[in-house]
Structures are given as structure tokens and as C-alpha cells.
A and B are shown apart, each in its own frame.
Chain A
Amino acid sequence: MSTYAQTADQEQGPPHVHHMDPVTAYHAAKFGMWLFLATEVLLFGGLFAAFAVYRWYYLSEFHHASHHLNWQLGAVNTLVLLFSSFTAALAVDAAQHGDNARVRKNLLFTICCGCIFLVIKYFEWSAKYHHGLFPGTAEFNGAEFNQAYKSFFGLYYCMTGLHAFHVIAGMGLLFWVFRKAQRNRFSADYYTPVEVGALYWHLVDLIWIYLFPLLYLVG
């Protein structure tokens, strides 16, 4: 068992694993994360496919329903996530240069942007809730409520909700990387967690890049 565990005197350089060399381990981890992102694309893909179908069914209603969303807040959130992706990329760059302080600074920016995103998202959701545009409220579930609106807001909450869950997961992952950077773990020889964590964070950004125009702009 001990062959898998990281030993104390190995705080610099890649962790020792018994079944592959460090370079292979780096590429395996990165390739594994790309595959995982592929699964995430298809997880959200089902929602995009459903959105395409119901948009085709209820074209004009979807357009009207999308006017209930606040595109200004959506745009601000887009910029926040784009900036967080930028700092995540810079964190990788810092790690590649072995600058753990800069890794910490950039990851902190990224995580803070994630928080800002979630706070704005929270205000958007609660505003919708107060207008009765929320599945589960009596008015929304009533028989007389527009069916197309049920579809649109059902998809809206599922898509943004699943996305928000990924934002939270990504922040957790980056925080774990941040803790490693606090121990000055990264160097030009070893920065796998930074790169893999950043890859995951970029996916969160990528999904939002499509969600924003679909939900807020063209509906």
C-alpha cells in the first residue's frame, strides 16, 4: 500500500506512484480529465438537445419567456466567468514557472469569481421565485399556466442549476489545488493538479458560453 502513498520527504517534485513514470502520469491525468470533460459535454448535451426540441415546439413562447430573464446580469456573469478562466490559465502558467505565490493569487481570483457568479445567480433565481416563475410553486404548477413557459423555465432551472453545481465542484477542486500551492508543491517538473483543475474550470466557462446566449439572448 505504501507504494501508492506520497512519502514525506518527497514534498518537491512529482508524487511517486509505483505503476508509471512521472511524465506518463502527467499525460495520463490530463488525458483522463479531457475524457471526463467529454462526459460532461454529453451530460449537458442531453439538456441542450431537450432545449433544441422544445424551442422548436414553442418558438415564440420561448422567445417571450427569455425576456423574463435579466440579460444584463447574465452578461455580467459571463464576463465574471471569462475572467475567472483567464486567471485559471494564468495559474497554470505560474505553476509552469514554479511560482507558487502567483499560483495562489490567480487561483484566489478564480475562486472569488466563482463566488461572485453564484451570488448573482442567487439573486436571479430568487427574483424569479418571487414572480412565481419556479417549478414547485402552486401558480407555476397550475393547469392554466402556459405549458411552454413550464418547459422553458424547467429547462432554465435544470441547466443553470446543473451548471451552478459544477461551479461549486470546480471551486472545491481549485481550493484543493490552492492548498497544495500553499505548501509550495508545484514546480516546472510537477504542476499536474493545477493544469487538470484549470481544465475542469474552463469547461464550466465553456458551458456558460453557450448557456448565456441560448437562455438570455435569443431564447
Chain B
Amino acid sequence: MSHHHGSHSHDDISHELGHVVPYKVYATVFGSLVALTVITVAVSRVDFGVLNIVIAMLVASVKAMLVALFFMHLKYEKPITWMFAFFPIFLLGLLIGGVFLDNPFRSDPTVHVSAPAASSGAAAHH
């Protein structure tokens, strides 16, 4: 068996296994997740207009962070894992952002709804 990392240390190479989290932490996190689920259902029963989706996504993100940080041990991971955990979310933001730079600013954003056959045929693009 090779131990070719030996005593040498890289910034992204560890020498121990994972972190052991106290049982209580898991239980607290689970309790909070249930509470947040109740909250998000309750809030959705009240009409806040556009705020409804904002609140729902905020609560969901708090729940997601709790799962990631404690259940998935992200809290104890190295910065490189954090980077690869959040970079895809950034990319998803780019995708949604780029699409929303287009659709709402079209001269008639609903054109495909009113004229379903408008853009048929095989357009050839590079």
C-alpha cells in the first residue's frame, strides 16, 4: 500500500476522517426542520401577494442550509467542498438570470402564447 502523501501536506488533503457530531445536534436540526415546514405551510395559507414565493423560498433555503450544514456535515468540510457545493447554485442563478434577461424584455413576451405556430421549421444555428 502506498502512503505517498506521507508527512507532506496539501491545503486540500486531510489526515483524519470525518467529524463526529453530537446526537443532540441532529435532533435539534430535525426539530427545526419540522417547525419550519409547519411555518411555511401556515404562511402559504395567507395571501401576501408576491411575497408568498419569496417567503417560501427563504424558508426552504434555511431548511436546505440546515440539512447541508449539519446532516451533510458541510459545516466541517474544507473550503473547496463549500466551493463545489455553492458553485452549481451560482451557475443556476446565471442560467435563470440569463433567461430572464431575455423573456421579459422581448417586444412581445407572450408572442409564443398567442401565436403557437409562429416559430415552426428547423432553424439552423451554429
Stretch of A50-58, A125-133, A155-163, A166-174 lying at the B interface: A50-58
Q: Is A26 an interface residue (CB 8 A)?
A: yes
11 extra interchain contacts, Cβ-Cβ under 8 A, other than A195-B73, A209-B64, A217-B56?
Answer: A18-B1, A19-B2, A24-B5, A34-B84, A48-B92, A49-B99, A71-B41, A89-B71, A202-B72, A209-B60, A217-B44
Given contacts A30-B18, A209-B60, contact A82 B34 (CB under 8 A): yes
Given contacts A79-B34, A213-B59, contact A23 B15 (CB under 8 A): yes
Q: How large is the interface on B (under 10, 10 to 19, 20 to 34, 35 or more residues)?
A: 35 or more
B40 neighbours in A (Cβ, 8 Å): 213, 217
Are the CB atoms of A21 and B2 closer together than 8 Å?
A: yes
A139 to B96, CA, bound (A): 32
- Overall SS of chain B's interface: helix
A53 to B59, CA, bound (A): 21
Residue of A nearest to B103 (CB): A53
Interface residues of A (CB under 8 A from B): 16, 18-21, 23-24, 26-27, 30-31, 34-35, 37-39, 41-42, 45-46, 48-49, 52-53, 56-57, 71, 75, 78-79, 82-83, 85-86, 88-90, 92-93, 96-97, 147, 188-189, 191, 195, 198-199, 202, 205-206, 209-210, 212-214, 217-218
Shortest distance between the CB of B78 and any CB in chain A (Å): 9
Are the CB atoms of B63 and A41 closer together than 8 Å?
A: no
Q: Which of B3, B20, B23 contacts A21 (CB 8 A)?
A: B3
Shortest distance between the CB of A193 and any CB in chain B (Å): 13
Are the CB atoms of A210 and B64 closer together than 8 Å?
A: yes
A52 to B53, CA, bound (A): 11
B2 neighbours in A (Cβ, 8 Å): 18-21
The 5 A-B pairs at the shortest CB distance, nearest first, are namely A217-B44, A213-B56, A45-B92, A86-B30, A89-B71
The number of residue pairs between A and B whose CB atoms lie closer than 8 Å in the complex comes to 149
Shortest distance between the CB of A53 and any CB in chain B (Å): 6
Given contacts A71-B41, A82-B37, A202-B67, contact A23 B16 (CB under 8 A): yes
Shortest distance between the CB of B114 and any CB in chain A (Å): 10
- Overall SS of chain A's interface: helix
A210 neighbours in B (Cβ, 8 Å): 57, 60, 64
A24 to B26, CA, bound (A): 27
A217 neighbours in B (Cβ, 8 Å): 40-41, 44, 52, 56
Instruction: Encode contact with A along B42-79: 1 for CB under 8 Å, 0 otherwise.
Output: 00100000001100110110011001101111000100
Shortest distance between the CB of A31 and any CB in chain B (Å): 6
Shortest distance between the CB of A215 and any CB in chain B (Å): 11
Shortest distance between the CB of B95 and any CB in chain A (Å): 5
Q: Which of B26, B67, B87 contacts A93 (CB 8 A)?
A: B26
Q: Is B7 an interface residue (CB 8 A)?
A: no
CB proximity to A under 8 Å, residues B10-31: 13-18, 20-21, 23, 26-27, 29-30
A191 to B1, CA, bound (A): 19
Shortest distance between the CB of B6 and any CB in chain A (Å): 9
CB proximity to A under 8 Å, residues B80-119: 80-81, 84-85, 87-89, 91-92, 95-96, 99-100, 103-104, 109-110, 113
Residue of B nearest to A38 (CB): B88
A75 neighbours in B (Cβ, 8 Å): 37, 41
